[in-house]
């Protein structure tokens, strides 16, 4: 187990375990209590033959491949109904809060936004299985996030996402940059390093961000950001590469802060992604302090 409480263990069911319950077999293979294993099953961190399994009583067979992924001491930010700011089924727009998972994580499906939003909406199981984020926000990033429970609608939106959608973000950086506006066109590599970071590399994917200083306070600045491409961690990597990392972004060299100071405050989706153009704005929540 790492210092962060992360565990990823793999094993194989022996002939002696054939016919035993999943939770019993896991307790014999791995150095974990039955109670912790049952919690991991409920959270969604148990995999049987490569697929997530949430049935503690599932009977094991010889040579079944088992995997348990845990993250202990994790504090989740609960979903509250006020976060749902617009809905036109099968589409649902929420104001994601810092600390919430936009999608299932390797170690959990329970407690993520798809899970909690489906429970709030009382979606039937078939629709719950189909509920997906249309785009992505990192766990520490807050702001506007669109979900769909229709594969056809999801495909329609994603097919036109880069031409019919515009997004705007707010970020607080430290130190404040010397420039007032900047077009950042630095390619980013496709692979993360061992610390989970992406890097600017000459042979990376083309990335394009637009940055404007909106306010300065001492050695910090509020930046308005428009991503013209949608690479993972793009804004975080670009600002880090310019020497002004986002406050609270320890992964990319940002100063320590109670939260990651990155917020998606505006989303506009036009035709043909939607039948008619929609635009939403949502200011940061109360923990946006700098």
Q: Look at the alpha carbons of 43, 45, 50, 56 in this order and tell me if their dihedral is positive or negative.
A: negative
DSSP helix/strand/coil, 224: strand
Active site residue 138: yes
Q: Residue length, the chain?
A: 290
Q: ∠257-263-269 over CA atoms, to 5°?
A: 170
Produce one character per residue of 119-143: b if its CB has 16 or more CB atoms within 10 Å, e if not.
eebebeeeebebbbbbbebbbbbbb
Q: How many CB atoms lie within 10 A of CB 1?
A: 12
Query: Cα(108)–Cα(112) distance, rounded to whole angstroms?
Result: 7
Contact 248, 257 (CB under 8 A): yes
Q: How many CB atoms lie within 10 A of CB 101?
A: 22
Catalytic annotation, pick one of 23, 64, 115, 138: 138
Produce one character per residue of 19-50: b if its CB has 16 or more CB atoms within 10 Å, e if not.
ebbbbbbbbebbebeeeebbebbebbbbbbee
Dump the DSSP string for 79-100.
--GGGEEEEETTEEEEEEPTT-
User: Residues with catalytic annotation?
Assistant: 138
């Amino acid at each position: 187990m790492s210092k962060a409480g992360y565990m990823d263990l793999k094993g194989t069911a022996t002939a002696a375990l054939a016919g035993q319950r999943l939770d019993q077999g896991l307790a014999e293979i791995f150095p974990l209590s039955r109670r912790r294993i049952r919690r991991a099953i409920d959270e969604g961190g148990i995999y049987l033959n490569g697929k997530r399994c949430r049935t503690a009583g599932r009977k094991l067979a010889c040579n079944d491949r088992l995997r348990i992924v845990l993250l202990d001491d994790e504090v989740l930010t609960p979903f509250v109904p006020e976060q749902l700011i617009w809905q036109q089924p099968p589409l649902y727009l929420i104001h994601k809060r810092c600390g919430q998972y936009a999608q299932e994580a390797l170690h959990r499906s329970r407690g993520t936004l798809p899970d909690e939003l489906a429970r709030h909406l009382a979606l039937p199981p078939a629709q719950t299985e189909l509920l997906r984020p249309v785009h992505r926000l990192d766990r520490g990033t807050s702001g506007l996030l669109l979900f769909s429970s229709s594969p056809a609608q999801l495909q329609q939106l994603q097919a036109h996402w880069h031409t019919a959608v515009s997004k705007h973000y707010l970020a607080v950086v430290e130190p404040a940059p010397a420039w007032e506006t900047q077009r950042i066109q630095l390619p980013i590599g496709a692979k993360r390093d061992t610390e989970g970071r992406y890097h600017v590399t000459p042979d990376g994917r083309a990335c394009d961000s637009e940055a404007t200083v909106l306010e300065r306070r001492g050695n910090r600045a509020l930046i308005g950001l428009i991503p013209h491409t949608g690479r993972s961690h793009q804004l975080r990597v670009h600002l880090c590469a310019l020497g002004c990392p986002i406050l609270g972004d320890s992964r990319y060299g940002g100063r320590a802060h109670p939260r990651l100071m990155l917020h998606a405050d505006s989303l506009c989706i036009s035709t043909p992604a939607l039948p008619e153009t929609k635009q939403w704005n949502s200011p940061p929540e109360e923990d946006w302090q700098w």
